[in-house]
Amino acid sequence: MTHPFETFRYCPQCGSALFGHHDLRSNMCRQCGFLFYANCASAVAAVITDSEKRILLCTRAEEPQKGMLDLPGGFVEFDETAEEAVRRELHEELGIEVHDVCYLFSRPNRYTYSGYTVHTLDLFFRVTVDDLGDICCADDVKEARFFSANDIDFSMIGFDSMKTALRKVIDEGLI
């Protein structure tokens, strides 16, 4: 796993190689004084259940964690609320419209892509959908299926934050 500061060796403002460690969360350019903080990115995940209280899990079509199970969701875009991101991601990935979005909890995560690790804060939501019959997998989702809590193979869940979240949702009866 690569820390963000190990990836960026040149100042993003002036291009100087005098860009390096300042403190635990930042790098500073010793030429122009630019200070860069490594902050986490926001991501959302939706807990969707059917009438039998089975949980919708998706098979990832792309790396990272291609072929593994995941909750539907993704990164929050600039100038977008987390609730808007849930609605957009579910429309993009599954072609469904969301009726209600209810925040549950958050978990830290690490998302490594192209050799770069993004530290994320994953926000989990319980989501109500009007019509689950029209799920159409797209974007980075290969397949979507409902699982009863007892049938989830946690070794097939791709991200640690998702494993922890699913266990919490099931154990605490949040579905």
Burial class (CB in 10 A: 0-12, 13-18, 19+), 5: middle
Taking the C-alpha atoms of residue 172 and residue 175, their distance in angstroms, rounded to an integer, is 8
Closest to 75 in 3D by CA, of 158, 140, 169: 140
Q: Which of 63, 97, 143, 172 is catalytic?
A: 143
Q: Token digits for 155?
A: 């070794």
Closest to 104 in 3D by CA, of 157, 55, 153: 55
Closest to 130 in 3D by CA, of 165, 70, 92, 90: 90
Q: Say whether 143 is catalytic.
A: yes
Taking the C-alpha atoms of residue 112 and residue 100, their distance in angstroms, rounded to an integer, is 31
Give catalytic residue positions.
Answer: 143
